[in-house]
Amino acid sequence: MTVILRRSLALVITLLAALPLAAQAPTPSIGQKVGRLLITNISVIDGMGNPLRGPLDLTIENGRIIGIQPSRDQEFSGSTISNAPAQRAADRTIDGTGLFVMPGIIDMHGHIQFTRGGKPLPKDYVYKLWLAHGITTVREPGSMDGIDTVVAHAKLSDENRINAPTIIPYATAGAATPAEARALIRSLKAKGAVGLKVFINYPDVWQAIAEESRTQGLPIATDMKIQYANAIDAARWGVRSIEHWYGIPDAAIGGRQEWPETYNYDNELDRFRWAGDLWRQADPARLSAVLDTMIAHKVTWDPTFAIYDANRDITRARNQPWMKDYALPQMLEHFEADPARHGSYFFDWTTADEIRWRNNYRIWMQAVREYSRRGGNVTVGSDAGFIWQLYGFCTIRELELQQEAGFTPLEVIRNATYNGAQALGLQNTGVIRVGFDADLLIVDANPLHNFKVLYATGVEVAEGGKMVHKGGVKFTIKKGIVFDAEALRADLRETVRRAREGTR
Ligand SMILES: [Zn+2]
């Protein structure tokens, strides 16, 4: 008893010491670390775009996939492979009958947020929503809570001490002078950043960031916003990923975008309204050349379609069915129009704005599809927490929108798994393959048929003459640690219910 008490006290003290003040006290992980895990009789989507296989048995040991075998003795690649009984001894077995497994989703653009609408969020609210949607890896492209917190949480997640996906910490790098930029990058590296997120800078500062990041081995992701530089410059500077689209149509305009002379960049209604006209202004022949240049420089395009979804239908975005059970009051408050908050710009959003954005999406989606067709790397990122998009849900919406862009469901899953791993230089995840990390998502319906089964809210489908509920994710497995996604969702709904009662 005393030993346990002392040990848990020591754990609390270590936890507190490891965390900066703003990030204290996330709840301990409910993830179950399983030595030897067997998943039997399951349909497998491998993440590389290969067709679904199954039923197969997966054997996982110490977080790694060590065996993939047919569930029955059968003809397999020309020879009969028997399902060796030795493989069947396990600490835990998940009966995968009727279930589907794919690699865990890699969200390339997931901001860790601990406050919204000026009020704190429970420390692992965002993490639990990610895990509840089968997201096992998140590239964190700069948190308001700072790189120290993100690095500390990445470590706690690796040690299975908090409920969270694997966190890949990128740090925001912006500076006034080249010297300042170089010093900043060295210090960010020392603090544990593994990459940089770069916005607007002067050319000499951009050059310094590009050089120093190469020296330090820190890849750059850029959200270029609207500046003198564009995607061609970014490609030549060695930027590894372009987030959203900024800089790409701009490079194909041949001059600056046209907008009314009243335009003010710091007025977000102006900014987002006229961003909706950007793709129309891009010259198709020039755009084609821009894409080729990006591909030649091996730039990943992380389009994050879903985060701008509200722009083409604000009523839909505000009334998504999951808001009721999964959105904390401060989330909803944050989304309401307010000039002081980023992404809360719906002061005068008109029919014309939505039409502009729908047309904008058509050209943008075609460009992303074409980018992939020519060999460019396209990934899945969400940027949730802004513009009526909730963590996790936004990532699944991104899958739907990539399908709308013309990717097949298998290709969409590859974008969300293998391609993300490629972009991040992760050699052992993103594919269901022997020797790879057991980063997995298990669900009770085929996501290739309908991505909606991955939403925490699931779907109703007819089965045997009556409507039954399918989805969301049943288990999320991170390096062999099993999270019961249904339990996570129940916990989230309870948190939201209590918070709503408190505000009444
Ligand atoms: Zn972002």
pLDDT in tens, 454-496: 999 999 999 999 999 999 999 999 999 999 999 999 999 999 9
Structure token pair of residue 249: 């149509």
Contact 94, 475 (CB under 8 A): yes
pLDDT at 255: 80
C-alpha–C-alpha distance, residues 219 and 197, integer Å = 9
The better pLDDT of the pair 187, 18 is held by 187
pTM: 0.93
Q: How far is the CA of 383 from the centre of ligand 1 (A)?
A: 5
Q: How far is the CA of 454 from the centre of ligand 1 (A)?
A: 23
Q: How far is the CA of 498 from the centre of ligand 1 (A)?
A: 29
Tally the residues of the chain: 504
pLDDT at 81 > cutoff 60: no
Rounded to the nearest 5°, which phi and psi values hold at 98?
A: 80, 5
pLDDT at 248: 98
Q: How far is the CA of 141 from the centre of ligand 1 (A)?
A: 6
AA letter at 189: K
Structure token pair of residue 364: 């943008």
Q: How far is the CA of 177 from the centre of ligand 1 (A)?
A: 23
Bond prior to 472 in cis (omega within 30° of 0): yes
pLDDT at 68 > cutoff 80: yes
Note residues around ion ligand 1 (Cβ under 5 angstroms).
Answer: 383
pLDDT at 29 > cutoff 70: yes
Q: How far is the CA of 32 from the centre of ligand 1 (A)?
A: 31
pLDDT at 76 > cutoff 60: no
Which tens digits make up the pLDDT trace of 242-289?
999 999 999 999 888 999 999 999 999 999 999 999 999 999 999 999
Q: How far is the CA of 272 from the centre of ligand 1 (A)?
A: 15
Report in angstroms the alpha-carbon separations of 166 from 61, 135, 139, 440.
18, 9, 8, 12
Residue 319: its H or E element: none
Contact 415, 102 (CB under 8 A): no
Domains, the chain, ranges and CATH? 105-172+223-424 (3.20.20)
pLDDT at 21: 40
Q: CA torsion sign, 401 to 406 to 408 to 411?
A: negative
Residue with tokens 């067997």: 38
Name, in order, each residue with C-beta under 8 angstroms of 6's C-beta and a sequence gap of 6 or more. Answer: none
Name, in order, each residue with C-beta under 8 angstroms of 64's C-beta and a sequence gap of 6 or more. Answer: 428, 435, 436, 437, 438, 480
pLDDT interval class at 84 (50, 70, 90): low
Which tens digits make up the pLDDT trace of 284-303?
999 999 999 999 999 999 99
**pLDDT > 70 in the chain, percent:** 91
Q: How far is the CA of 290 from the centre of ligand 1 (A)?
A: 23
pLDDT at 377 > cutoff 90: yes
Candidate from 73-77, 136-140, 338-342, 404-408 with smallest mean pLDDT: 73-77
